């Protein structure tokens, strides 16, 4: 069932707008088309619509009759989406709209990310803006850009743009959660020049491919113990090098800082006479890794394919350096929160490793709800990288969001959740990076909360959103708007 049927799902206004949004290419840092789309949407409704210098869009809608004196509510979601696709999927994110289909109670995409993160939030805001029969207070709908690769939209937000003092961020991925705090983050990147030389005489060149990992969101899924393709590929090449004179020519793994890397490949050279030994060693390592990750990454496979091109390889010393650094960089949980049971406090995602043309680059996203600890983990990674002669850069540092469990909006939404669903919501902080911390720095004292429907596999081609959960989320959102005073 393709996207034409998606629009007929309930609530139809939300799904119709989600389908329209997903027809617009909207990669992070290239949001000009979706910004224009949103500006035309707001102006087409006759609503006050503005766009700032970076591409954030603000649409204001007056209150429904009788609600004019209620507090102004800021609804906020981000316009950009993570672009990831499966190997072998023929899809151009820069020109094509997302191809959706219904799978039981879930909406998915054909071999790519779906864009439910944060497209469902955007679509919900659009549905409210164009409605004629939904009760609501004065609304400021804030659509930010570039949340996924630096939160530059939120960082560039004007301090005097918003009038509202209550913000509903629609970017949480579990419909039982009311998120009231999140981790901050920063990028740590290291680069180093390498020495290369021709491969030894009688060498044959092959491409080593590791794929089929589960991947996922580097914040929300980091505690699940899923495999990181960069770490496993480095381990694999190191193991091979212990048995055969393998020489590394290229290494590439991962593509996005906020996605757990799912695939990696290496170009290797080794004596032609040792081909069968290499194949046997790879098969043995594949079995070991499949056993280790049978629960988290059941699709893990390793393939070896002949590579016709002759190329330079790293010197033995630089190859050892590259593999040792990749092995040593921390990945996964660094520290659990001592204050909140089950919450990851600090982590690192070794998101990208690239070795090509005599240069190596490592890219990490380091997260923590404690700023000092995030910076300390960044220092540890810097020490490892600088030990290999790499130049290290810290960038895109953004603050965490300190919880305020006693705010009025938290009390209201906790009560409404209990009344609507006869259960207690999970009110907590999360390890993902949300824009609330940055927005709160621009607007001190603003009451903020984040919520949303069930989204699974965000930042990977396995991304899916639950239809029944979207209905629950929509019901809860409308009830909240009706009750805000």
* CATH code: domain of residue 466: 3.40.630.10
Same-domain check for residues 191 and 277: yes
Contacts of 41 (CB under 8 A, 6+ apart): 59, 126, 129
Same-domain check for residues 116 and 33: yes
Split into its structural domains, the chain has a count of 2
pLDDT of 119-134, one tens digit each?
999 999 999 999 999 9
Q: Of 344, 371, 398, which one is at a domain's C-terminal end?
A: 398
pLDDT of 376-416, one tens digit each?
999 999 999 999 999 999 998 988 898 888 999 999 999 99
User: 335: exposed, middle or buried (C-beta count within 10 Å: 0-12, 13-18, 19+)?
Assistant: middle
**pLDDT exceeds cutoff 60 at 73:** yes
Contacts of 57 (CB under 8 A, 6+ apart): 35, 38, 39, 42, 49, 50, 51, 79, 142, 143
pLDDT of 162-193, one tens digit each?
999 999 999 999 999 999 999 999 999 999 99
Same-domain check for residues 95 and 143: yes
Answer whether 456's CB lies under 8 Å from 464's CB.
yes
Token reading at 82:
């993570």
The CA distance from 248 to 243, in Å, is 14
Domain with 50, as residue range(s), is 3-183+400-483
**pLDDT exceeds cutoff 70 at 2:** no
CA atoms within 13 A on the CB side of 16: 10
Same-domain check for residues 367 and 461: no
Same-domain check for residues 355 and 213: yes
pLDDT of 425-484, one tens digit each?
999 999 988 999 999 999 999 999 999 999 999 988 999 999 999 999 999 999 999 999
Answer whether 59's CB lies under 8 Å from 74's CB.
no
Answer whether 7's CB lies under 8 Å from 19's CB.
yes
Catalytic annotation, pick one of 31, 117, 140, 147: 147
- At 88, the pLDDT band (50, 70, 90 cuts) reads confident
Same-domain check for residues 264 and 346: yes
Report the relative pairing of strands 247-253 and 264-271 from DSSP bridges.
antiparallel
Catalytic annotation, pick one of 80, 146, 297, 435: 80
Let me know if 318 is a catalytic residue: no
**pLDDT exceeds cutoff 50 at 358:** yes
pLDDT of 26-64, one tens digit each?
999 999 999 999 999 999 999 999 999 999 999 999 999
Same-domain check for residues 62 and 142: yes
Same-domain check for residues 302 and 380: yes
Q: Of 347, 369, 398, which one is at a domain's C-terminal end?
A: 398
pLDDT of 332-341, one tens digit each?
999 999 988 8
Q: CB neighbours (10 Å) of residue 97?
A: 16
Let me know if 147 is a catalytic residue: yes
Same-domain check for residues 103 and 115: yes
User: In the predicted model, what is the mean pLDDT of the chain?
Assistant: 96
* CATH code: domain of residue 212: 3.30.70.360
247 to each of 194, 294, 354, how far by Cα in Å? 14, 29, 16
The CA distance from 80 to 144, in Å, is 8
Report the helix count and the strand count for the chain, using DSSP H and E: 12, 25
Lookup result for tokens 């209905």 = 471
Same-domain check for residues 173 and 97: yes
**pLDDT exceeds cutoff 50 at 1:** no
Q: Detail the DSSP E strand segments found in 28-105.
A: 48-51, 57-61, 73-78, 100-103
**pLDDT exceeds cutoff 80 at 4:** no
Same-domain check for residues 304 and 327: yes
Q: Of 365, 398, 431, which one is at a domain's C-terminal end?
A: 398
Contacts of 444 (CB under 8 A, 6+ apart): none
Full-model pTM: 0.79
Same-domain check for residues 479 and 439: yes
Lookup result for tokens 């902080």 = 429
Give one DSSP letter per residue of 30-41, joined into a string: --HHHHHHHHHH
């Amino acid at each position: 069932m393709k996207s034409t049927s998606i629009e007929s799902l309930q609530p139809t206004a939300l799904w119709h707008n989600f389908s329209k949004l997903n027809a617009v290419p909207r990669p992070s840092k290239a949001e000009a088309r979706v910004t224009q789309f949103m500006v035309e949407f707001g102006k087409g409704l006759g609503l006050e619509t503005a766009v700032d210098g970076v591409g954030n869009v603000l649409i204001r809608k007056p209150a429904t009759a009788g609600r004019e004196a209620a507090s102004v509510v800021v609804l906020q979601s981000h316009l950009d989406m993570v672009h990831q696709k499966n190997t072998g999927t023929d899809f151009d994110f820069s020109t094509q709209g997302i191809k959706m289909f219904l799978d039981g109670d879930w909406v998915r995409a054909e071999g790519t990310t779906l864009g439910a993160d944060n497209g469902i939030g955007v679509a919900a805001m659009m549905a409210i803006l164009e409605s004629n029969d939904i009760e609501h207070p004065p609304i400021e709908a804030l659509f930010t850009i570039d949340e996924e690769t630096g939160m530059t939209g939120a960082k560039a937000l004007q301090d005097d743009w918003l009038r509202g003092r209550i913000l509903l961020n629609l970017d949480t991925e579990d419909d039982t959660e009311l998120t009231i705090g999140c981790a901050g983050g920063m990028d740590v990147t290291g680069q180093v020049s390498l020495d290369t030389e021709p491969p030894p005489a009688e060498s044959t060149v092959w491409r080593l491919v590791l794929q089929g990992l589960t991947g996922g969101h580097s914040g929300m899924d980091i505690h699940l113990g899923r495999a990181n393709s960069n770490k496993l590929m480095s381990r694999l090449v190191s193991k091979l090098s212990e048995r055969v004179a393998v020489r590394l020519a290229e290494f590439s793994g991962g593509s996005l800082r906020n996605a757990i890397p799912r695939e990696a490949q290496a170009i290797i050279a080794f004596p032609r006479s040792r081909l069968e030994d290499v194949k046997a060693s790879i098969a043995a390592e594949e079995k070991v890794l499949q056993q280790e990750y049978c629960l988290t990454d059941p699709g893990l496979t390793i393939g070896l394919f002949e590579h016709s091109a002759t190329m330079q390889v790293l010197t033995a010393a630089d190859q050892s350096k590259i593999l040792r650094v990749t092995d040593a960089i921390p990945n996964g949980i660094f520290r659990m929160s001592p204050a909140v049971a089950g919450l990851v406090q600090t982590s690192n995602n070794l998101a990208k490793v690239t070795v090509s043309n005599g240069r190596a680059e490592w890219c990490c996203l380091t997260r923590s709800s404690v700023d000092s600890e995030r910076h300390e983990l960044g220092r540890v990674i810097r020490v490892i990288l600088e030990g290999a002669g790499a130049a290290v850069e810290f960038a895109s540092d953004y603050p965490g969001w300190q919880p305020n469990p006693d705010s009025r909006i938290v009390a209201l939404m906790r009560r409404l959740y209990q009344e609507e669903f006869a259960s207690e919501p999970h009110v907590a902080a999360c390890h993902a990076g949300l824009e609330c911390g940055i927005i709160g720095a621009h607007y001190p004292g603003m009451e903020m909360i984040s919520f949303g429907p069930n989204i699974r596999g965000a930042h990977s081609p396995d991304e899916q959103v639950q239809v029944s959960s979207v209905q629950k989320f929509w019901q809860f959102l409308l009830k909240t708007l009706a009750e805000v005073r």
